[in-house]
C-alpha cells in the first residue's frame, strides 16, 4: 500500500514538474524577451502535462502524440454538451440529447509554418471510433466548427505572434524558433 502511494505521488510530481516546465517555457516566449535565434523545445511529456492542466471543462484525459514531421494527433474524452455550457452557450433540449455524454475524440492535424505564420490542416477526426475525413470533414469544419468557433483558423495561414518564426514539429519534440 505504501509503495503504491509513493509511486502515485512520484507520478503526480513528475506531471506537475512537466507542466511547470512547459508553463515557464510558454511564459518566456510570451514575454517577447527571447533573443532572435533562440529555440525552445517542448517534450511530449511537457505537452501532455500542459494539455491535462489546461483542458477546459468537459474535456478529460487529453493526450498529444507527435506522429511524424509536421503531424500531431490529439485525443481526449469529450462531453460536447459540458464544453458548450462551460463556454456560456448551453445547448437547447434537442442538441443536448445529441451532445451530452463523453465520447472518445481524436484529431490529426498537419502543422506547417515559416516566416512567422502557420497553417493547420485537419487531416482526420475520429469520434467514438467513427472516422471523419475528406469532404465530410470539410463540411463539418465549414458548417459546425467555424460557426461555433468563428476565431478558429483552419486551412489558412495565421500569424504566430510573440516573434515566433516557425514551429518545428518532430516525433520527439516541438521546437519553437524565435525570429527577429
Domain locations along the chain = 2-178
- CA dist 72 and 39 (Å) reads 20
Sheet of 164-169: strands edge to edge?
39-42, 174-178, 164-169
Rounded average pLDDT over 121-134: 94
Q: Which helix (H) or strand (E) holds 117?
A: strand 117-127
**Residue in this structure with the C-alpha cell 515557464, named with its chain if needed:** 24
CB 65 within 8 A of CB 72: yes
As a whole number of angstroms, the distance between CA 103 and CA 111 comes to: 25
Q: What is the pLDDT of residue 8?
A: 54
| pLDDT tens per residue, range 90-122 | 989 998 888 899 999 999 999 999 999 999 999
Q: What is the pLDDT of residue 45?
A: 97
- Cβ–Cβ under 8 Å, residues 42 and 72: no
**N residues, the chain:** 180
Question: Which residue would you say has higher pLDDT here, 13 or 1?
Answer: 13
Expressed in angstroms, the distance from the first to the final Cα of the chain is: 54
* pLDDT tens track for 3-22: 555 545 555 577 899 999 99
Q: What is the pLDDT of residues 137-158, one digit of tens each?
A: 999 899 888 887 888 999 999 9
What is the structure's pLDDT at 11? 56
DSSP letters, 148-171, are H-TT---SS-EE--TTEEEEEE-S
Percent of the chain with pLDDT over 70: 93
Amino acid at each position: 500500500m505504501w509503495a503504491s502511494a509513493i509511486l502515485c505521488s512520484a507520478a503526480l510530481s513528475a506531471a506537475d514538474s512537466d507542466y511547470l516546465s512547459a508553463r515557464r517555457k510558454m511564459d518566456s516566449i510570451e514575454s517577447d524577451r527571447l533573443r532572435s535565434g533562440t529555440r525552445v523545445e517542448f517534450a511530449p511529456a511537457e505537452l501532455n502535462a500542459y494539455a491535462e492542466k489546461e483542458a477546459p471543462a468537459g474535456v478529460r484525459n487529453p493526450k498529444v502524440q507527435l506522429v511524424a514531421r509536421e503531424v500531431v494527433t490529439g485525443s481526449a474524452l469529450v462531453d460536447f454538451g459540458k464544453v458548450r455550457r462551460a463556454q456560456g452557450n448551453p445547448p437547447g433540449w434537442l442538441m443536448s440529447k445529441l451532445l451530452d455524454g463523453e465520447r472518445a475524440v481524436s484529431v490529426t492535424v498537419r502543422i506547417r509554418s515559416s516566416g512567422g505564420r502557420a497553417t493547420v490542416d485537419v487531416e482526420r477526426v475520429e469520434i467514438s471510433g467513427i472516422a471523419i475525413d475528406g469532404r465530410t470533414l470539410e463540411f463539418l469544419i465549414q458548417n459546425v466548427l467555424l460557426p461555433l468557433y468563428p476565431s478558429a483558423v483552419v486551412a489558412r495561414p495565421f500569424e504566430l505572434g510573440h516573434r515566433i518564426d516557425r514551429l518545428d514539429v518532430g516525433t520527439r519534440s516541438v521546437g519553437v524558433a524565435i525570429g527577429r
